[in-house]
Structure 1
Amino acid sequence: MTRVPPRLPAFAAAIALTGCLTLTGCASADDGRDTMDAGTRLAELTDRLGRAASQTYTAVYALGTGEMATVVSAPPRTATISGDDRLLIGPEGVIACEDGTCSRPPGADDPPGATGIVTPEQVRAMVTAAAHTPGADVALSTESFAGEEALCADVQSMSDFTVCVTDNGILASFRGDGETTLELTRLSESADSSSLVA
């Protein structure tokens, strides 16, 4: 059973990206865990996640909290939106906008640790670490999210997690121990530039 942490602030909860959900499940594409090492299994997933930083898109996610979050990406800027709250990440750093007021949050130069963000870059780091962890166990599968085919990996390593990524590198889902779950529900190849301005 996935444990859901105490409710985060609406803004932080909206950007806690997680889950190749048990609700949808991943259709097994490779059951032979012992025929290929973790590094080989995770190589394609790592490559896919690296593409996200160059993609322009708008992705809508359903969270395990019952809330929705929207990620708008137009490199080099990204905005995560929940209700009236936004988190902006770009060359200028990190800016949080709540109730129409924008400011740099404490620890803005290190947003993952300070705000609870789970970004494609963070997930890629987790995947890379698992690929180099002796004894890591990885099962690959495929699933469809919002009409997009995704490669999924169920990883049992120092940190157990499940992640699904679309062909063009968009994070489709992620679930880690104690994390809120997330599932991609809508994806478009456009971005509203007004969402990316404080």
Structure 2
Amino acid sequence: MPAASTTLRMLAVSVIASLTVTGCQALDDAGRAIGRSDLVNDLAARLDRALELTYSADYQLPGGQTASIAQAQQPARSAYTYPGGRLTVTDEATTRCETTGARTTCTLEAPPAPNSKPSVAVFTEAKRRGLVTPPVVVGMLTEAALDPDAVITQSDTTVAGRHATCVDVRQAAGNFTACVTTEGALGSFTGQVDGKPVELALSRYRETVDQTAFDLPPGAGVVDRRTADS
């Protein structure tokens, strides 16, 4: 996905240029402090690599609920499954599925423009249901990097057997902690999202994807709005 990668690099360069003079925050017990430019550089590089990966990630949510992310290439496509629904993004459609009782209804909308990534708004429902997607975390971290009063500290951990780098953000807009694996997958997240507490942790990571992850759920009702969107 060349255009997405270029966009991320441009974002990183833009933020780094505006934050060069800010330096690093003071050390505290949460870990070593990092420069905001370092944060954006690391995040952009990991996400850049992750865009080119095929992987499946399962997550544990509060109350015993689960969620998952599946991503594959050639063609690029992704699926985000969360309690009560699923979002699938392919070059054919952006599909939102909602399950109420025993009935599932899927709405097909226009896909992202060629060679581009879906907007953060696409992930609103997943976020509301407790699955904070990587694009949402990228936005939150970038906003924190732009906040001159934010204290951002870094630490390392292991999540589901994978090494991960964690950033702990303390700011007026809301505190949160996010961990990203070496591969670029979201390892864990704890914090406030749109005023709502959210918590998730990676429970399993695989470098393969079940191809049925991108199919419509069996028996789902389908509403096709792609013509109306074009």
Matching residue of 1:194: 212
- 1:4-83 equivalence runs, <5 A: 31-33=31-33, 36-75=34-73, 76-82=76-82
Contact 1:151 / 1:167 at 8 angstroms: preserved in 2? Answer: yes
1:80 maps to a residue whose letter is: Y
Give the superposition deviation at 1:146: 1.0
Contact 1:48 / 1:167 at 8 angstroms: preserved in 2? Answer: yes
Tell me the C-alpha RMSD between the 2 structures: 2.8
The total of aligned residue pairs comes to: 167
Q: Distance in 1 between matches of 2:174 and 2:44?
A: 16
Matching residue of 1:166: 181
Matching residue of 2:25: none
Matching residue of 2:123: 112
Describe the superposition over 1:105-143 as per-residue Cα deviations: whole angstroms up to 9, x where unpaired: 8xx973233553532112112212222221220111111
CA distance 1:30–1:41, change in 2 (3 Å): farther
Describe the superposition over 1:174-198 as per-residue Cα deviations: whole angstroms up to 9, x where unpaired: 1222332110011100011111122
CA distance 1:196–1:160, change in 2 (3 Å): same
Contact 1:138 / 1:154 at 8 angstroms: preserved in 2? Answer: yes
Q: Distance in 2 between matches of 1:130 and 1:85?
A: 29
Q: Distance in 1 between matches of 2:125 and 2:187?
A: 23
> What SS does the corresponding residue of 2:60 show, helix, strand or coil?
strand
Matching residue of 1:87: 87
**Unaligned regions of 5+ residues in structure 2, if any?**
1-27, 110-117, 217-230
**Unaligned regions of 5+ residues in structure 1, if any?**
1-27
CA distance 1:40–1:148, change in 2 (3 Å): same
Q: Distance in 2 between matches of 1:171 and 1:100?
A: 28
Q: Given the two structures, how large is their TM-score scaled by the length of structure 2?
A: 0.63
Give the superposition deviation at 1:149: 0.3
Greater RCO (Cα-Cα under 8 Å, separation 6 or more):
1
2:124 maps to a residue whose letter is: G
Matching residue of 2:144: 130
> What SS does the corresponding residue of 2:64 show, helix, strand or coil?
coil
Q: Given the two structures, how large is their TM-score scaled by the length of structure 1?
A: 0.72
